[in-house]
Amino acid sequence: MAITLGEIAVRFGLELAGDPGETVQGVAALAAAGPGQLTFCTGARYRRELAAARATAVVLPPELAAECPVAALVAARPYASYARIAALLNPPPRVVAGRDSSARIAEGASVAASAWVGPYAIVAAGATVGKRCSIGAHCVIEEGARLGDDCRLHPGVTVCRGVRVGARCVLKPGAVVGSDGFGFAPDADGYVKVPHLGSLVVGDDVEIGANTTVDRGTIDDTVIEDGVKLDNQVQVGHNCRIGAHSVVAGCVGISGSSSIGRRCMIGGAVGIAGHLEIGDDVVVTGYSLVTHSLPGPGTYSSGMPAIAAADWRRAVARLHRLDSERRRPGRGKGG
């Protein structure tokens, strides 16, 4: 589809410096975009690419508008505005109502007439699929699970028994939501499995990445609030709560019964121990290990960035020498 710059400016509340009648029909990166395409620039570090821009229009912050050689769409948050425009120019495929002949929908399941159920998908008894949902191939929606309107399940998703998913959620390939968590009580001769009698409640506008797993609660429910975005291969343990509009990057592990506040940003490969509370507006940088509760707001880090192997070996040797010095007999407190 093609849309004029004037329409874009009005629709998204942007200031336009350029011809409102010019049209764009696609997007591209700043260095690669050409005529008929829209791109974005987020800050001064991209000044060189901006000066050479050949796109029809660039979405950028106010301080760079005067440097733009083509039409400028001025935005307080250029990347977010670009994302909205890109979504407008590239809408998701329209859901075509129906069901594949190989799909299995149990008696007692409720599937909206406007929904699509793909090849070999299974909708169990008592499950509910809302309006305009798209259920991909080989998905399984177990007994009593409920999907709100306009959800999209990519192939191979499993929504376990009794799970409640809000409206406009996206679950990517291989995601499993609502399975039993890792709950075992130690006993004299081994471990006793703890029954997971709670469920999982997912709010509206949540995205759950490929091969991400979110466990159900043991007694109370696990809760993922509105607008949360979970990246690929994230593990959310039983009884966790993730506050609205928080984002969690890939390969994060969140142990059971931990609570993450609203608008948090959890970097890649972060490990969060169990029974902790992370406040609102907390940022945890990648590869950090969180072993105690973190009040918000604030930014927290741990771990050591990669350095040359020789430098790392010298640093470790120094640490060992410091420890040896500390343990030497006869050293006083002031040593």
Residues 43 and 179 occupy one common structural domain: no
Beta carbons of 262 and 280 less than 8 angstroms apart: yes
Residue at which a domain ends, from 89, 116, 139: 89
Residue at which a domain ends, from 64, 89, 114: 89
Q: How far is CA 217 from CA 158, 180, 182, 240, 273, in A?
A: 17, 8, 10, 8, 17
Strand 104-105 to 170-171 pairing: unpaired
pLDDT at 229 over 50: yes
Task: Give the CATH number for residue 190.
Answer: 2.160.10.10
Structure tokens at 266: 């959890």
> Is 221 inside a domain boundary?
yes
pLDDT tens digits, 268-324: 999 999 999 999 999 999 999 999 999 989 999 998 888 999 999 999 999 889 877
Residues 76 and 13 occupy one common structural domain: yes
> Is 314 inside a domain boundary?
no
- Please report, for the chain, how many H helices and E strands are present, in that order: 4, 39
> Is 76 inside a domain boundary?
yes
pLDDT level of residue 331 (50, 70, 90 thresholds): low
Q: How far is CA 195 from CA 132, 189, 192, 226, in A?
A: 35, 19, 9, 27
> Is 324 inside a domain boundary?
no
Structure tokens at 148: 């709100």
Residues 174 and 208 occupy one common structural domain: yes
pLDDT tens digits, 102-148: 999 999 999 999 999 999 999 999 999 999 999 999 999 999 999 99
Residues 104 and 164 occupy one common structural domain: yes
Residues 66 and 103 occupy one common structural domain: no
What pLDDT sits at residue 330?
64
What pLDDT sits at residue 94?
92
Residues 63 and 186 occupy one common structural domain: no
Residues 167 and 261 occupy one common structural domain: yes
Query: What pTM was estimated for this model as a whole?
Result: 0.91
Catalytic machinery residues: 238
Residues 71 and 109 occupy one common structural domain: no
pLDDT tens digits, 237-279: 999 999 999 999 999 999 999 999 999 999 999 999 999 999 9
> Is 126 inside a domain boundary?
yes
pLDDT at 334 over 60: no
Residues 250 and 222 occupy one common structural domain: yes
Residues 24 and 127 occupy one common structural domain: no
pLDDT at 333 over 70: no
> Is 323 inside a domain boundary?
no
Task: Give the CATH number for residue 65.
Answer: 3.40.1390.10
> Is 315 inside a domain boundary?
no
> Is 194 inside a domain boundary?
yes
Domain count of the fold of the chain? 2
Beta carbons of 285 and 299 less than 8 angstroms apart: yes
Count the neighbouring beta carbons within 10 Å of the beta carbon of residue 77.
11
Residues 64 and 177 occupy one common structural domain: no
Residues 207 and 296 occupy one common structural domain: yes
Domain hosting 60: range is 3-89
pLDDT level of residue 61 (50, 70, 90 thresholds): very high
- Please state, in angstroms and rounded to a whole number, the distance separating the CA atoms of residues 124 and 318: 61
Residue at which a domain ends, from 89, 117, 139: 89
